[in-house]
Amino acid sequence: MMDGIVIAAHGRHYLVHVEGERLHCVTRGKKSDIAVGDQVDIKRTSPDQGVIESFAERKTLLYRSDQFKSKLLAANVTQLFIVIATEPGFSDDLVSRSLVAAEAGGIAASLILNKTDVADLLPKARERVALYASLGYPVHEVSAKARPEDTVALLAPMLRDQSTILIGQSGMGKSSLINLLVPDADIATREISAALDSGKHTTTFTRLYQLADGNIIDSPGFQEFGLYHLSEGMLERAFREFQPFLGHCRFYNCHHLKEPGCAVLEGVHEGRIATQRHELYQQLVHESSQTIGY
Ligand SMILES: Nc1nc2c(ncn2[C@@H]2O[C@H](COP(=O)(O)OP(=O)(O)OP(=O)(O)O)[C@@H](O)[C@H]2O)c(=O)[nH]1
Ligand SMILES: [Zn+2]
């Protein structure tokens, strides 16, 4: 048996980094409950192949879900960087959903505002990120293209001894940032695609890059971040700014939707909770009631 870490996943195929080598691994049976970042026990079955026998208890698990099933994003992540930019415009819905997923998973979250060199759009972007900063999420301004050295100087120390996942909509500059932070990232990516995708390069994978002292996980850009798996109780706690109001509603089992005497709704009314955040909460409560089969 050998210890390894899963560096890429594609269906039931996994690439596992084991003792300086990369093995193409499968799980036993039909199970596909292994995620990038998992620490696994491997049994080698050929020079470059193996079987995953078991995985270690996870410190954290990040996932998203739709009505029918959940999809593992990554295991053992310690921090989430949400990459946004001055242009193209970013989605508040996706930012907040990512923050909720991080809160629910016990993962620290920060926003990375890229393309600050696009000066005419910077004030507007700053205005929009102010909401998240006011909730206590760190916001870091960078320019991967115009100020690469400054960007590395700022971000590299934050990666030390962390397992950091970057997520972002397409076009925000996530790949540019990864290429700055991970030497030879593009070569590693090509090798991973070749190993897992028979060289077709058609699929985008979640993949993990090992740094000297930490990991970076790149997730494919996605347009939707379903959180159907989160219960109402998890949701109310995942919205940080609800905290001071929880326990002060007239009804102990208040859903904070339209109940009389709801302290959270009062908070929205007084402007202490942003309307867009409460609207997302409502939407997520709705999603959580729509699950089928789990
Ligand atoms: N002006 C400016 N452009 C940037 C910066 N960083 C990246 N870009 C550009 O933004 C575009 C998207 O960058 P990528 O790094 O490919 O973005 P991505 O988020 O990985 O996008 P996908 O590959 O579509 O997932 C490219 O044309 C980059 O050259 C920046 O700091 N400033
Ligand atoms: Zn309430």
Question: Is 96 known as a binding-site position?
Answer: no
Instruction: Calculate what percentage of the chain has a pLDDT beyond 70.
Output: 95
CATH T-level assignment (fold) for domain 2-55: OB fold (Dihydrolipoamide Acetyltransferase, E2P) (2.40.50)
Does residue 198 carry a pLDDT above 80? Answer: no
Strand pairing class (70-75; 61-65): antiparallel
pLDDT value for 184: 84
Q: How confident is the model at residue 131 (pLDDT cuts 50, 70, 90)?
A: very high
pLDDT value for 203: 56
Tell me the two tokens of residue 253.
Answer: 């089992």
pLDDT value for 11: 80
d(CA 242, ligand 2 centre) in Å: 9
Average pLDDT of the residues of the chain: 93
Q: How confident is the model at residue 294 (pLDDT cuts 50, 70, 90)?
A: low
**DSSP, res 245:** G
**DSSP, res 171:** T
- 58 CB-near residues (< 8 Å, 6+ apart): 38, 75, 76
pLDDT value for 17: 95
d(CA 289, ligand 2 centre) in Å: 18
Enumerate residues lining ligand 1, CB below 6 A: 114-115, 117-118, 143-146, 168, 170-176, 221
**Which residue's C-alpha comes closest to atom 25 of ligand 1?**
170
d(CA 205, ligand 1 centre) in Å: 18
Total count of residues recorded for the chain: 294
Q: How confident is the model at residue 183 (pLDDT cuts 50, 70, 90)?
A: confident
Between 65 and 133, the higher pLDDT residue: 133
Q: Tell me the ipTM for this assembly.
A: 0.96
Q: Does domain 232-288 have CATH number 1.10.40.50?
A: yes
**Which residue's C-alpha comes closest to atom 9 of ligand 1?**
173
Distance CA 196, CA 66 (A): 25
**Which residue's C-alpha comes closest to atom 24 of ligand 1?**
170
Does residue 185 carry a pLDDT above 80? Answer: yes
pLDDT value for 143: 98
Among candidates 88, 174, 91, 82, which has minimal Cα distance to 128?
91
* Torsion (CA) 256, 257, 260, 261 in degrees, nearest 10: 20
Does residue 220 carry a pLDDT above 90? Answer: no
**In degrees rounded to 5, what are phi and psi of residue 217?**
-115, 125
Q: What is the pLDDT of residues 101-115, one digit of tens each?
A: 999 999 999 999 999
Tell me the average pLDDT across 116-135: 98
Find the ligand nearest to 117 CA: 1
Cα 216 to chain centroid distance, Å, stands at 11
State which ligand 1 atom lies nearest to the alpha carbon of 177: 15
The ranges assigned to domains in the chain are 2-55, 61-218, 232-288
Task: Spell out a b/e string for 168-200, using b for 16 or more CB atoms within 10 Å of the CB, else e.
Answer: bbeebbbbbbbbbbbeebeebbeebbebbbeee
Residue to mutate (ligand 1; options 81, 116, 154, 176; most atoms within 8 A of CB): 176
State which ligand 1 atom lies nearest to the alpha carbon of 168: 19
Question: Is 256 known as a binding-site position?
Answer: yes
Q: What is the pLDDT of residues 15-68, one digit of tens each?
A: 999 998 999 999 987 767 899 999 999 999 999 999 999 999 999 999 888 888
The CATH architecture assigned to 61-218 reads 3-Layer(aba) Sandwich (3.40)
pTM score of the predicted model:
0.94
Does residue 196 carry a pLDDT above 70? Answer: yes
Could you give the 3-state DSSP secondary structure of residue 140? strand
Tell me the average pLDDT across 136-157: 98
Tell me the two tokens of residue 64.
Answer: 């998203």
Tell me the average pLDDT across 211-225: 87
pLDDT value for 200: 59
**Which residue's C-alpha comes closest to atom 2 of ligand 1?**
115
User: In this structure, are residues 113 and 140 in contact, taking their beta carbons and an 8 Å threshold?
Assistant: yes
